[in-house]
């Protein structure tokens, strides 16, 4: 468990009334980072059989078949040869020197079930949990920061599979770091799987001078066979419109009436997120059964917006309902942001927060 310090001097675990995200500053030990590289609670029980392909989108059903076959090729002593045969490169005489893509890359819009499929692949791979790892791109880069590059390579090289969710390259440093890390892991025989809203050859486009790092980006792309998954956001497919924001009084009363709920002013929470590393946002939400926010308003800048995206992802992974007053979640990001290089991240955050707002409707009494 992480340790917490309280900016107010009050222990947030024992304080009477709602908890507060703003009073939490979690410190996560490195061994927890490694131990928790498994699918998050929302995806703990998913399997290929529980994925419901849209009948109008054949690419979804095709992806299930490809990934199921990929998982089957990762078992036993001949996993490396099976992987290469699966991708059409024949048998491997020297498994430490791969000749082609050693992983699958799920590309598609938000809400088409990519994380469901990635977690299903993790569960279907015939290996002990200690021999396969699952984490977001942010969690992977933070692991390198916590352990150091060489120790991260040693830690993950013994794995049969590394799954990377929400694969994004937001700066040149991450590009070089991840390109080098994945190259070494592939050389060690580790299979890769990733999800993103951006094809591997387009990573970093619109966010930094991708052309200056073309070699690294192309090197990343070479590790994967891309699978396009088409479709609409399943979180809103056939569902009623998201609830309108509630009043401050309704949110506050619900927070006091719900055991394990937090209550925070949205602008203050955004300020607090700047003081906590995004890799700790999962720990920030430990033990919460609901998040209550008052005075939701548009985020003021891109850095703040990207931190909010990470928090939304961690809340969604952990199935924590979000009850809010102020503006609707689809008004969080400016029109300029929704047209910029991070637009897919922002749309994902809107989609996930809207789903969590729908989950929170039962917290408000009649």
The model's pLDDT over 61-106, given as tens digits with 9 standing for 90+, comes to 999 999 999 999 887 543 443 333 333 333 333 333 334 467 888 8
Q: Nearest Cα to 333, choosing from 354, 360, 315?
A: 354
Encoded tokens for 105: 């890359």
Rounded CA-CA distance 251/269 in Å is 15
Rounded CA-CA distance 47/38 in Å is 14
CA 33-38-41 angle, 5° bins = 110
Rounded CA-CA distance 177/318 in Å is 28
> What is the 3-state secondary structure of 136-192?
EHHHHHHHHHHHCHHHHHHHHHCCCEEEEECCCCCCHHHHHHHHHHHHHHHHCCCEE
Question: Within 10 A of 225 (CB to CB), how many other CB atoms are there?
Answer: 16
Q: Of all residues in the chain, what percent carry a pLDDT higher than 90?
A: 49
Q: Nearest Cα to 191, choosing from 144, 159, 154, 150?
A: 159
Encoded tokens for 34: 């490694």
Encoded tokens for 230: 């088409």
How is the beta sheet containing 103-108 ordered, strand by strand?
A: 132-136, 161-165, 191-196, 103-108, 224-229
3-state secondary structure of 11: coil
The model's pLDDT over 208-242, given as tens digits with 9 standing for 90+, comes to 344 444 455 566 677 888 888 888 766 555 555 66
Work out the average pLDDT over 327-334.
94
pTM: predicted TM-score of the whole model, two decimal places: 0.75
């Amino acid at each position: 468990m992480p340790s917490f310090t309280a900016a107010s001097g009050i222990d947030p675990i024992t304080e009477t009334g709602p908890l507060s995200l703003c009073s939490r500053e979690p410190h996560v030990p490195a061994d927890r980072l490694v131990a928790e590289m498994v699918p998050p609670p929302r995806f703990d029980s998913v399997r290929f059989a529980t994925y419901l392909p849209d009948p109008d989108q054949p690419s979804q059903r095709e992806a299930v078949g490809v990934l199921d076959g990929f998982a089957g090729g990762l078992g036993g002593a001949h996993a490396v040869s099976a992987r290469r045969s699966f991708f059409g490169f024949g048998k491997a005489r020297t498994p430490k020197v791969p000749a082609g893509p050693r992983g699958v890359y799920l590309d598609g819009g938000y809400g088409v079930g990519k994380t469901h499929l990635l977690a299903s692949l993790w569960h279907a791979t015939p290996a002990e949990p200690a021999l396969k790892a699952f984490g977001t791109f942010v969690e992977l880069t933070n692991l390198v920061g916590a352990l150091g590059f060489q120790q991260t390579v040693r830690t993950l090289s013994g794995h049969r599979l590394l799954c990377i969710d929400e694969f994004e390259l937001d700066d040149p440093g991450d590009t070089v770091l991840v390109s080098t890390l994945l190259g070494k892991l592939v050389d060690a025989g580790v299979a890769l799987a990733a999800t993103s809203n951006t094809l591997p050859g387009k990573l970093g486009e619109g966010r930094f001078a991708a052309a200056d790092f073309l070699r690294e980006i192309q090197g990343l792309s070479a590790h994967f066979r891309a699978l396009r998954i088409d479709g609409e956001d399943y979180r809103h497919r056939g569902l009623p419109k998201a609830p309108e924001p509630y009043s401050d009084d309704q949110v506050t009363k619900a927070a006091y009436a719900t055991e394990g709920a937090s209550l925070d002013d949205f602008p203050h929470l955004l300020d607090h997120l700047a003081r906590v590393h995004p890799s700790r946002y999962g720990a920030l939400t430990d033990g919460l059964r609901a998040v209550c926010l008052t005075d939701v308003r548009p985020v003021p800048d891109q850095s703040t917006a990207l931190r909010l995206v990470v928090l939304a992802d961690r809340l969604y992974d952990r199935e924590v309902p979000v009850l809010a007053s102020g503006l609707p979640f689809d008004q969080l990001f400016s029109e300029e942001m929704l047209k910029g290089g991070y637009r897919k991240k922002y749309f994902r955050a809107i989609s996930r927060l809207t789903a969590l707002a729908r989950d929170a409707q039962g917290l408000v009494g009649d």
